[in-house]
Amino acid sequence: MCNLSNIKIMVAGNGISGKGAAFALKKTGACFNVCEGDFEREIEKNDYSLIVVSPGISSDSTLFSAAKSKNIPVIAEIELGYLLNKGKILAVTGTNGKTTVAKMAALMLGEKHRVALCGNIGRSFSEVASLGGYEIAVVEVSSFQLETVHKFHPDVAVLTNISEDHLDRHGSMERYIALKKKIAENMTSDDTLVLSQDGIPIKCLMNFSPEAKVVFACVRGKIQGAYMEGDEFFLGGNKIAEKKDLPFTERHNYENFLLAAAASSAMGASAEEIRRGIAKFTPEKHRLCLVREIGGVKFYDDSKATNVAATIAALAEMKGSVCLIAGGSDKKCDFSQLFSTHSRLKQINLIGETGYKIRDAAYMNGFAEAKLFDDLESAVKNAYKSGCDNVLFSPACASFDMFENYSARGEKFVESVYALV
């Protein structure tokens, strides 16, 4: 545990991470101030030795140039958590599936250990670390948080997959990939890195030589790591579960299960503990949830799909024709992939600031049935009349142009579906 009581610290941001950092610093007796804006002035008038930054503050903020001019180190809130941590760490990052894999692993490890689930999900890591009382911290980690980690060192890490996301913040796919790889930069040969063979393009692994032991997970066939074969799941050649043991049937969740199982096993979980833990898992709300069926039309809430890859995965799970409702806040991603891979897609109803952009991508790819709507309710009403077997609300975008978050967006979809008849 790090001694922070003899230096002056600035906490930048007052959201969940900022509040967590402030709680942790107060508990340790550190001298600190919380600043929500005008960072340059705050840094200029105070003699800070360290800045703890919230993930919502990007690396192009004036905070960083002001800190650099005074040689003040800037660390992520999860790095503060690492400095205060006394247990083992299982960290999960990736474009999609982070929350699901983290929750699954926490349940598996919780069969034998005291586990704290934290990070980019629920409570901040720094708050949890300052309270202690756990043996293993399962930490969900975003690319925003990885921008400012320097010493963060998990015992086991999972990289679920990599596809276009957050390019509005990171500027390029190359930068985004580099940030995701940072999860492993401090790991040693005593540690384990779990990678998805299904969800990480080969080009993303070029020039990537982590020191940690690498275990791959795959649903497409037998490999040396974790894999699915028929209706059975294996790890290191040993069967750990069957499909009937799992409380879900979606292919993407089979991938998530294998990643969580491999990570939990690396932390010492037995096959029996993995099976008992996964039996307690409840699928994520707003992730491919069947809302209701009306006159043979099924309505699915997939509001948690905030990037193109997540929406493509949802389309792959559909049986029958699909009217997709998509659109939202622009993350500078390429939407053309939506129209080149799925024959089930018959119509797309578009909302939000990316509506025109997605429609243009549809037209460029020879898909004519793309319609624009001013609000979600209108898009739902029209989708019901589309004649498709399924109405899938999977936005492929963030929610912030129209809603507070993806949960509020999903609840509005559910409300709109129940208002139909």
Check residue 243 and report its DSSP letter: G
CATH number at residue 19: 3.40.50.720
- Cα–Cα distance for residue pair 73/151, rounded to 1 Å: 12
Quick check: is 251 in a domain?
yes
Residues 128 and 186 in one domain: yes
Tokens of 146: 């990885």
Which pLDDT value is given to residue 1?
54
CATH number at residue 227: 3.40.1190.10
DSSP 101-152: HHHHHHHHHTTTS-EEEEESSSS-HHHHHHH---SEEEEE--HHHHTT-SS-
Residues 199 and 323 in one domain: no
The count of residues in the chain is 421
SS3 (DSSP) at 369: coil
Neighbour-count burial for 303-326, b at 16+ CB within 10 Å, e otherwise? bbbbbbbbbbbbbebbeeebbbbb
Residues 68 and 82 in one domain: no
Query: The domain containing residue 47 runs over which residues?
Result: 8-72
Which pLDDT value is given to residue 221?
87
Residues 220 and 240 in one domain: yes
Residues 192 and 239 in one domain: yes
Quick check: is 54 in a domain?
yes
- Cα–Cα distance for residue pair 184/224, rounded to 1 Å: 21
Quick check: is 380 in a domain?
yes
Residues 231 and 84 in one domain: yes
Residues 21 and 95 in one domain: no
Residues 83 and 67 in one domain: no
Quick check: is 96 in a domain?
yes
Residues 337 and 377 in one domain: yes
Q: 93: which strand partners?
A: 159
Q: 54, 72, 90 — which closes off a domain? A: 72
CATH number at residue 330: 3.90.190.20
Determine the distance from the C-alpha atom of residue 2 to the mean position of all C-alpha atoms in its chain, rounded to a whole number.
28
Quick check: is 352 in a domain?
yes
Q: 35, 56, 72 — which closes off a domain? A: 72
Residues 68 and 83 in one domain: no
Sheet architecture: strand order including 370-372: 289-294, 297-301, 390-393, 322-326, 345-350, 370-372
Backbone angles phi, psi at 156, to 5 degrees: -135, 135
Quick check: is 2 in a domain?
no
Residues 254 and 151 in one domain: yes
Q: 231, 255, 279 — which closes off a domain? A: 279
Determine the distance from the C-alpha atom of residue 365 to the mean position of all C-alpha atoms in its chain, rounded to a whole number.
29
C-alpha distance from residue 212 to each of 87, 149, 189, 208, 242 (Å):
19, 18, 4, 11, 29
Number of helical (H) and strand (E) elements in the chain, helices listed first? 15, 19
Quick check: is 243 in a domain?
yes
Quick check: is 3 in a domain?
no
Consecutive H or E run containing 258 = helix 251-266
Give me the number of domains the chain comprises: 3
Which pLDDT value is given to residue 201?
84
Residues 265 and 196 in one domain: yes
pLDDT per residue of the chain (421 residues) written in tens, 0 to 9:
567 888 999 999 999 999 999 999 999 999 999 999 999 999 999 999 999 999 999 989 999 999 999 999 999 999 999 999 999 999 999 999 999 999 999 999 999 999 999 999 989 999 999 999 999 999 999 999 999 999 999 999 999 999 989 999 999 999 999 999 999 999 999 999 999 999 888 888 878 889 999 999 999 989 999 999 999 999 999 999 999 999 999 999 999 999 999 999 999 999 999 999 999 999 889 999 999 999 999 999 999 999 999 999 999 999 999 999 999 999 999 999 999 766 889 999 999 999 999 999 999 999 999 999 999 999 999 999 999 999 999 999 999 999 999 999 999 999 999 999 9
Nearby residues of 295 by Cβ (< 8 Å), 6 or more positions away: none
